[in-house]
Amino acid sequence: MQLSQNFLNNRRLESMVENQTTYTLNNAAMHVFETHQKAEQVYLKFDQPVLASMLEGKKVMHLNDEQKFDFFPGESLVLPASELMRIDFPEARENNPTRCLAMAISEEKIKQTLAFMNENLPKCDHRNWNMIDYNFHFTNDKEIFQILQRLLFLFTENHASKDFFVDNMLQELIIRVLQNNSKKAYLNLDYRKPINNRLSCVVDYIKNNIHTNLSIEVLSRKAYMSKSNFYKVFKNELGVSPVDFINKERIKLATTLLQDKNRKIKDVFMECGFESRSYFNRVFKKEQKISPGKYQAKQSYFKI
């Protein structure tokens, strides 16, 4: 994500540490924080739930006196209202600033979106969508990246209807974050209480049989659903189609196998359940932005 030149030209730089530029609309406030020098033990909290997303540089986040992690560009973090953050800026410099976007969203907007989802995008087995599991740290997918980039533009745009535009984008952002949160829960059943429903059985089956032919027909039978209903329910709850989910899991496995420089790529794509080298190459490059061969060579180089 990039800040527009218009933003950089018009914001006021009054502090070298967590300089704040804020734009406020009906259901959200967008804060852009910039730090231009190394700093430690900087405290920050918001009155509303917030989605923080790194733009440039690196932060070290400390939450609840327990959770500590590095926060990099392309990653986001969802926090509840009044959560106290303690932040270090180990690499911030005047010519290498750390920049972060913080989107504070009203709880009423989140509740409205949850009601919309429960009515129009119901979960499997008639369960309700609930609030996001806060302190949810994740890598932005393409869709969330594009929404955040669009919001950066909309908040700074001088347009009479921008409240309406932002409201629509906020609803999509909340939905996609909830779906990402749901997907993480399915993939990591120790992440919170195990999910005992038909989709959890399907996800578990996919993980244990990733090397086999996983057709929609087979998976829908495992879920005791028709193919069309299974496809719809799966995408509603996890935010991706079953095929995209399977491919992402296969590429995740492939990146692990390719750490071994002696593994042949032919063996890797077959172990990951791909039926052809050309399709494997295409999916791998889409996910990793690099070919399998170059990825393997790069890993070998770093291990020297």
CATH of the domain at 261: 1.10.10.60
Mean pLDDT to the nearest integer, 249-263: 92
Q: Are residues 203 and 183 in the same domain?
A: no
Q: Are residues 172 and 270 in the same domain?
A: no
Of the three residues 141, 176, 192, the one that is the final residue of a domain is 192
Q: Are residues 203 and 94 in the same domain?
A: no
Per residue in 77-131, pLDDT (tens digit) is 999 999 999 999 999 999 899 999 999 999 999 999 999 999 988 888 778 888 7
Q: Are residues 248 and 284 in the same domain?
A: yes
Hey, is 84 helix, strand or coil?
Answer: coil
Q: Are residues 188 and 235 in the same domain?
A: no
As a whole number of angstroms, the distance between CA 111 and CA 119 comes to 12
Exposed/middle/buried for 289, CB within 10 Å: 0-12, 13-18, 19+? exposed
Of the three residues 192, 224, 241, the one that is the final residue of a domain is 192
Range of the domain at 74: 1-192
The number of distinct structural domains making up the chain is 2
Hey, is 44 helix, strand or coil?
Answer: strand
CA 147 to chain centre: 11
Q: Are residues 12 and 127 in the same domain?
A: yes
Q: Are residues 153 and 218 in the same domain?
A: no
Q: Are residues 158 and 232 in the same domain?
A: no
Q: Are residues 103 and 158 in the same domain?
A: yes
Mean pLDDT to the nearest integer, 176-188: 87
Q: Are residues 17 and 134 in the same domain?
A: yes
Residue-level pLDDT at 10: 75
State yes or no: pLDDT of 304 exceeds 60: no
Please name the helix (run of DSSP H) or strand (run of DSSP E) that holds residue 184, with its range, or none: helix 162-187
Of the three residues 176, 192, 208, the one that is the final residue of a domain is 192
State yes or no: pLDDT of 184 exceeds 70: yes
As a whole number of angstroms, the distance between CA 304 and CA 299 comes to 9
Q: Are residues 163 and 219 in the same domain?
A: no
Q: Are residues 93 and 156 in the same domain?
A: yes
CATH of the domain at 124: 2.60.120.280
Per residue in 222-249, pLDDT (tens digit) is 999 999 999 999 999 999 999 999 999 9
CB atoms within 10 A of CB 160: 6
State yes or no: pLDDT of 300 exceeds 70: no
